[in-house]
Structure 1
Amino acid sequence: MAYAQLPRRGAIQTLSQAFGWLASNPILLVLGFVLGLLSGFREMFVLLSLVGMLFGIFVDGVAHVFAENEAFDERTDFGDAASRVGSKYLTLFVMTIVYGVIVVIGFIFLIIPGIYLALRLSLAFPACVIDDKNLTKSLETSWEVAPGNLLKLFGISLLAVIIGFGVGIVGVIGGGESFDVILIGVSVLLTTFLHPAIQLAYARVYLENRPTEDEMETNETGTMPV
């Protein structure tokens, strides 16, 4: 049976629905808040940078599971989501390193190649969690399905940056003498809401374009399925 695919939506609609899913699943806000605390205080405690990265991988994966179930009106159990992410955690960890190295190399050659590679491979993570793909297949799938969605993925990221910048400016202007405290507070707030929302949006883009079982069989065998 082929996978069900979602109707395509633009960047604004995708991110808007992602915020709706986020509001319906407060556990993601809790995870985002914890991640925000780890990120906000990492300059004071260096160890928190590593812990934050490791926890961020988990948060992203859980968000992808929630996105899949929300997209098809299915209930998500956090325990089940955590278990699915846990089973793929090592792959996700290695993929994070590989992804980071590739993107950094792209940025070395100028900003545009770095952005292009970051977007072209961004769907590897939801592919890994949602469809239980290994490292190589996840990267290959993202490389194949992302090209038609690069502007949308860029738009989602840009919208998040604009929202974050706006909130940050308001926070800094109103911070007065408590600049450092306000800065940390804004960082935690943005991470709480924007980080899981972006991952939910990316997962939805993947679900719009995920290969069907027939397409995957064709890619693996090189022949049309009977």
Structure 2
Amino acid sequence: MQSLSAACAIHPDLGAVFTCERCGTFGCEDCRGSSQALLCQACVQRVAPTVVLSAGELLQDSFSLLSRNLSGVGLLLAGSLAGSVLSAAFLPSFLQDPAPSGFLLGLVSACLSSFVTAVFLSWTAQNLLQQPEPSLLSALQVGLVRFVSLFLMSILFGIAVAAGMLCFILPGLYLAVRMSLAPALVVLDGRGPLEALNHSYQLTEGHRLTLFVVFAVMILLQLVLALAGQLVLGLVSSLGAPSWLGMELFLPLWQVLGSALLYGAVVLAWMRITGRVPAQA
């Protein structure tokens, strides 16, 4: 973004990159409002309503969203099954030469996962915003455009959280919560990887405990679903059914349900904090 000819009113050594629509003040990027990009931070505090997130309501709405977004769950399941097919296709090469084949398989699988996640986030947001004609083609286009940024952001997110975990765990959990909205910012706001992480850190100020409770419940639920998946696998095997039926269908389904809940909560939290409150949630 090119700087305006004027200097920032707060930081005169920096060039202005926007003009506040409310007060007309020239501002640099650091002075831009975190939730309203066309206002300066001072005006955002004056005019923006206080956003109150309730952990109970966010959890309830996330479960409600899951039942109303079965098409999105189907997209995630299709991506998971595609990943299984991809792994099977790479298996002969992996057995012959594990090192390069394993790296290539991991890279392709990660890119596929990022693409499917981006499509799911876009599709879910379209439905929550109740657009007249939610378009799967549009969601697929968003996935193609944004999956690389989402992939890079995920790497940076993982590095930051892992480094925090090494410092007595709590810093890692803190960073995970503060940067939790980054996927929505990459896919739905079109921000770059670093910008999304930084902006998520700003947006989650004041909502840390609520988001921690919500995501902790989601992760615990994913563990429960994983355990249930293992029980289903055992039941399928004991009934004499083919092993692939459990591994390729039931287990991915449990994993997909957990992912759909988690990413649905991310989209809902992003919408409410930034003022994009859906008509129904």
Q: TM-score, normalised by structure 2?
A: 0.62
**Counterparts in 2 of 1:71-220, with a 5 A limit?**
71-74=128-131, 75-173=133-231, 175=234, 178=237, 182=246, 185-210=249-274
Report the structure number with the largest CA radius of gyration.
2
**Conserved in 2, the CA contact under 8 Å of 1:29 and 1:196?**
yes
User: What letter is aligned with 1:199?
Assistant: Y
User: What letter is aligned with 2:253?
Assistant: L
Identity of aligned residues (%): 21
In the TM superposition, residue 144 of structure 1 has moved relative to its aligned partner by 0.4
| Higher mean displacement: 41-50 or 121-130 | 41-50
Q: Within 1, Cα distance between the matches of 2:248 and 2:147?
A: 29
Gaps of 5+ in 2: 1-20, 22-35, 38-47, 92-101, 277-281
- The one-character-per-residue Cα deviations of 1:55-103 (angstroms, maximum 9, x if unpaired) are 2211222222223222221132111112123222332222122111111
CA change 1:21–1:198 in 2 (3 A) is farther
2:122 matched residue in structure 1: 65
Answering whether residue 108 of structure 2 is matched by residue 51 of structure 1, we say: yes
**Conserved in 2, the CA contact under 8 Å of 1:172 and 1:183?**
no
Q: Within 2, Cα distance between the matches of 1:7 and 1:71?
A: 19
| Higher mean displacement: 173-182 or 108-117 | 173-182
- The one-character-per-residue Cα deviations of 1:5-51 (angstroms, maximum 9, x if unpaired) are 9984533223223313422xx1x223322343437996995454433
CA change 1:170–1:204 in 2 (3 A) is closer
- What count of residue pairs does the alignment treat as equivalent? 209
**Conserved in 2, the CA contact under 8 Å of 1:40 and 1:187?**
no
Q: Within 1, Cα distance between the matches of 2:210 and 2:86?
A: 32
In the TM superposition, residue 143 of structure 1 has moved relative to its aligned partner by 0.6
Q: CA RMSD for the aligned pairs?
A: 3.4
User: What letter is aligned with 1:106?
Assistant: G
1:30 matched residue in structure 2: 74
1:220 matched residue in structure 2: none
| Higher mean displacement: 59-68 or 162-171 | 162-171
Q: TM-score, normalised by structure 1?
A: 0.75
Gaps of 5+ in 1: 213-226
2:61 matched residue in structure 1: 14
| Higher mean displacement: 166-175 or 85-94 | 166-175
